[in-house]
Amino acid sequence: MNTQLIAAALLGVVTIILLITWLRVHPFLGLILGSATLGVVSGMPTSKIVDAFTAGVGSTLGGVGLLIALGAMIGALLADSGSADRVVDTVANGVSIGRLPWAIAGVAALVGLPLFFEVGLVLLVPILLLVSRRLDLPLMKIAIPALAGLSVLHGLVPPHPGPLVAVSALKADLGLTLAFGLIVSIPTVIVAGPIFGSMVARLVPGEVHASPIEAARQRAPRQAPAFWTIVLTMLLPIVLMLVRALGELLLPIGSNVRATLDVAGTPIVALLAGLVLAMFTLGLASGLDRRTLSESLAAALPPIATILLVVGAGGGFKQTLIDAGVGTMISRAAQTVAVSPLILGWLVAVAIRVATGSATVATITAAGIVAPLAATLDRSGAALLALAIGSGSLFFSHVNDAGFWMVKEYFGLSVGETLKTWSVMETIISVVGLAGVMVLRAFV
């Protein structure tokens, strides 16, 4: 059975790659056919293949899809009100070109502290494209630092769901994990962001194209709001989610204030609040009337249809992998391996991440496997084990990861270029993150 599942997973991935790269099939259709191949070879009944795929599509679009749509609307207001240009001008004039990738990595890491990866991405994409176009910089030179900042914080630092699950499963100290996570994140972002970005930009510079929120729209220049008005508007969703995280850390369960913050800081609610505020502070304040404002928001949705379908199909393929039993098979095999808990946690997370494409699933499964070993570690060891698992959960994102397709579509890359840039960057994050964990373990 294990051989059959391994063959099914490999054939599913190979089918997707060949269809997209060789036969030039659209990624949406390629993911559907790859999921079917995986299900059939693994021995799943046809009805379960369909159910698994549709469930994966539904759950992905129900979460990530809504975030993409709301983020695209905010991005549309940034573009149509002239706010994005104002931000670009301010950043470009305030930071030298040589330091710009470092500044962007830092900003992305700050944004990524409370934000989910998908939310941060949809907020930063229009600014990255405009900076690249305005300063004539290779797109990947600034996109990779931004992606690294978002991804590292998503995988290593609470209050993101993966690290929180690991902390809970391992009974690790949350404050210690947060502190160690921030320490490990700094060199990881530097290596995977500005350093790797400068290197890979020579091979894959990236073409600056119209972003999904800018496509097919050219508005007349308008009087943009003040810089700090724009910044504070963009920060509202971040502040709401950060306050929610602080509430979870400081307020008792059952508290009315905590319950209110839990709702207000939910990503969808926070982004919706940010959109409503942006309609006033960015849209109406820049001179857009109600009709033009409505048209601007409506025009943001059609261009992202392809992104939504591809991301949803990636979620369907991931769910088919999980329902076929690939993750369970890897979990059982890992229990027989006798290695250091830190290395074991990282290896298990790596295997499940590569097989399923889900960093959260990889974190949850790996933490469950090595949880008994965490009881033998001291407080520092348990916290570092959570970070080792988080590092492994980011290893080599490829065609079964919704994030892979988001990056590909948003930055207009081919599958091969996405593998050379995004996938390699994720692998660097995983390896450097583990190295940082092991170095810390030598001192604490």
pLDDT digits (tens, 9 = 90+) for 32-70: 998 899 999 999 999 999 999 999 888 878 877 888 788
pLDDT-derived band at 337, boundaries 50, 70, 90: low
Structure-block tokens of residue 315: 């979620």
Q: What total of structural domains would you count in the chain?
A: 1
Q: How far apart are CA 437 and CA 180, in angstroms?
A: 8
pLDDT value, residue 209: 59
Q: Is the pLDDT of residue 299 over 50?
A: yes
- Omega into 194 within 30° of 0, i.e. cis? no
pLDDT value, residue 421: 96
Burial of 251 (0-12, 13-18, 19+ CB in 10 A): middle
Least Cα distance to 175 among 249, 244, 245 occurs for 249
Range of the domain at 236: 5-441
CB–CB of 319/357 below 8 Å? no
pLDDT digits (tens, 9 = 90+) for 230-245: 888 888 887 887 788 7
Sequence-separated (6 or more) residues with CB below 8 Å from residue 109: 149, 150, 152, 153, 185, 189
Structure-block tokens of residue 9: 């997973």
Q: Is the pLDDT of residue 210 over 80?
A: no
Secondary structure of residue 209 in the 3-state scheme: coil
CB–CB of 391/185 below 8 Å? no
CB–CB of 11/41 below 8 Å? yes
Least Cα distance to 97 among 170, 217, 198 occurs for 198
DSSP codes of every residue in 281-306: IIIGGGT--HHHHHHHHHHTSGGGHH
Average pLDDT over residues 192-214: 79
Q: How far apart are CA 421 and CA 211, in angstroms?
A: 19
pLDDT digits (tens, 9 = 90+) for 352-397: 888 878 787 788 778 877 877 787 789 899 999 999 999 999 999 9
CA distances from 299 to 69, 156, 293 (A): 11, 36, 10
Q: How far apart are CA 238 and CA 171, in angstroms?
A: 27
Least Cα distance to 221 among 75, 82, 73 occurs for 82
DSSP codes of every residue in 37-59: HHHHHHT--HHHHHHHHHHHHHH
b/e 7-35 (16+ beta carbons within 10 angstroms → b): ebbebbbebbbebbeeeebebbbbbbbbb
